[in-house]
Amino acid sequence: MKDQNEILLENEKAFKSLFEHATISILVTDENGDINLVNPNAEKLFGYDREELTGKPIELLIPEQLKEIHRQHRQHYFKAPKARPMGLGKDLFARDKNGRTFPVEISLGYYKLGAKKMAVAFITDVSERKKAEAILRSSEETTRLIMNSALDAIICFDTNDCITVWNPQAEKTFGWKENEIKGRRLAEIIIPKHYHVIHETGLTRYLCAHETMVLNRLIEITAMHRNGKEFPIELTIVPMHQNDTDFFCAFIRDITERREAENRQKEYAEDLKRKNIELEQFAYVASHDLQEPLRTVSGFVELLKRHYKEEANENVTKYINYITDASDRMRRLVQDLLDYSRLGRERILEPLDCNQVVHQVLSDLTMAVQESHAIINIDMLPTVSGYATEMKQLFQNLISNSLKFRKPGGPPVINISVMPKQEHWLFQITDNGIGIDEKYWERIFIIFQRLHTKTEYAGTGIGLAHCKKIAELHNGKIWVHSVPGEGSTFYFTLKKRDTDVWK
């Protein structure tokens, strides 16, 4: 059996070991505030040896500006000492041998040593914890700033569909204040009744089977404002997981204005399409109907010529020839107009080897090519999907123009090439002809616009208008760059399709 003394001795040993090995810093002071005991952890924390601290006032370990107030608190404590945390609700700071000030948490204990009152301070350095708290606070602050300044409405809701986050833009978009809707069900607040089932099915599918049909993608649906009005929104719902909890974050943008603009654009395009059809019909009917009276005029002029061949004096013959020329020219114009309005009428898209199309065109133009001694270089061209007659006409007009508008004094040199682009083929037809002043680069594509008289260069001014219409029929464009006196390059694009082949 151990006697009382032995037990006391063992306890003392245990407490001493506890004191020496404690991972918390422990300081014992007397009523005067002088340090009596220091454990190794406190030596480490404050950077002083035990001998340097023993007998010194505890204020040695307090930052300068807090020393006086600490002294007062200490004296006050000894009037009614008891175990308690120190400075509850306040930030406490200590100071080490190097003068570094750091935040601490202190628990105070108390015991009597004979007549002496002793205070025990259990000190924890909380610098790391405070730093982590500061980082957390600042990241929370950043999140709040982002939420407040986001142009999107940001709404978070839990797996029961209850709203947990509702940023200021959500207030603007839906007309509800955050404190009015927190905890209420999303479906009830922003989703029109006829979408409730879809919304709930989506949620259940995700929760039960992790099906993510509508998650993580941009979708367009109809939402409901507080005033009951429905409006289109663009929405992305992202599933999230934090602190063992599943929830969803919805990023929402009101697209009413964009939809209205799209609708206006659509109406405008439809209107334009209708007007173009009307115009084409008008051109077709007008040119078709004009042919008949023209034929009559030409027929009777022919009769006049034949019947009054002998009697007609010089003037009559001259005037009759004027009428013949004019009506011939008018017939050509009317025919051109009719062709123009017919372009692409019976459209069938088919694969066209542009190499073959160009060779066919050149064989039709053999005379003009030979007469002008033209040099024509053709790159490898693709097989595209196009309208056969129209595509032939496109190449024919451009090549024959390059031959026609050649510079005197040398053979025309024509290069035909193509470049594949992301969405389309870019064709180029370059010549070394007379060129075109920049101010006419757009005008020449308008129907019947010419830069020369018919005596200088034959033609009616419809060729490039045809080319423009043909390029547009193939979802493309046509334009020119040119240096007067040096030559021109006509560019046109054709929409690229998966079936196209090149090289």
Interface ranges with ligand ADP (CB under 6 A): 397, 401-402, 405, 431, 433-436, 444, 450-452, 459-465, 488
CA distance 272 to 257: 22
* CA gap 484, 444 in Å, rounded: 14
* Smallest gap from residue 420 Cβ to ligand ADP (A): 24
Least Cβ distance, residue 441 to ligand ADP (angstroms): 10
Query: Smallest gap, in angstroms, from Cβ of residue 443 to ligand ADP?
Result: 8
Our CB check for ligand ADP shows the closer of 164 and 400 to be: 400
Provide the minimum distance between the beta carbon of 477 and ligand ADP in the complex, in angstroms, as a whole number.
16
- Residue 312: CA count within 13 A, CB half-sphere: 16
395 contacts 361 by C-beta, under 8 angstroms: yes
CB of 414 to ligand ADP, least distance (A): 9
Nearer Cβ to ligand ADP, position 57 or 459? 459
Shortest Cβ 497–ligand ADP spacing (Å): 28
CB atoms near residue 365 (< 10 Å) = 19
- The angle at the Cα of 367, spanning 388 to 377, to the nearest 5 degrees, equals 65
Tell me the C-alpha distance between 429 and 399, whole Å. 8
Token reading at 498: 């998966």
Nearer Cβ to ligand ADP, position 246 or 437?
A: 437
Residue type, 201: T
Task: Please count the helices (runs of H) and the strands (runs of E) in the chain.
Answer: 15, 18
Q: Which is nearer to ligand ADP, 29 or 401 (CB)?
A: 401
Closer residue to ligand ADP (CB): 45 or 434: 434
Q: Where are the alpha helices (DSSP H) in 221-365?
A: 256-307, 314-342, 354-364
Q: Among residues 490, 344, 346, which one has the least CA distance to residue 418?
A: 490
Rounded to a whole number of angstroms, the minimum distance from the CB of residue 412 to ligand ADP is 9
Q: Report which residue's Cβ sits closest to ligand ADP.
A: 459
In the chain, what is the greatest distance between 2 CA atoms, to the nearest angstrom? 167
Q: Would you give the distance in Å from CA 397 to the centre of its chain?
A: 41
Q: Which is nearer to ligand ADP, 327 or 402 (CB)?
A: 402
Minimum CB distance to ligand ADP smaller for 132 or for 483: 483
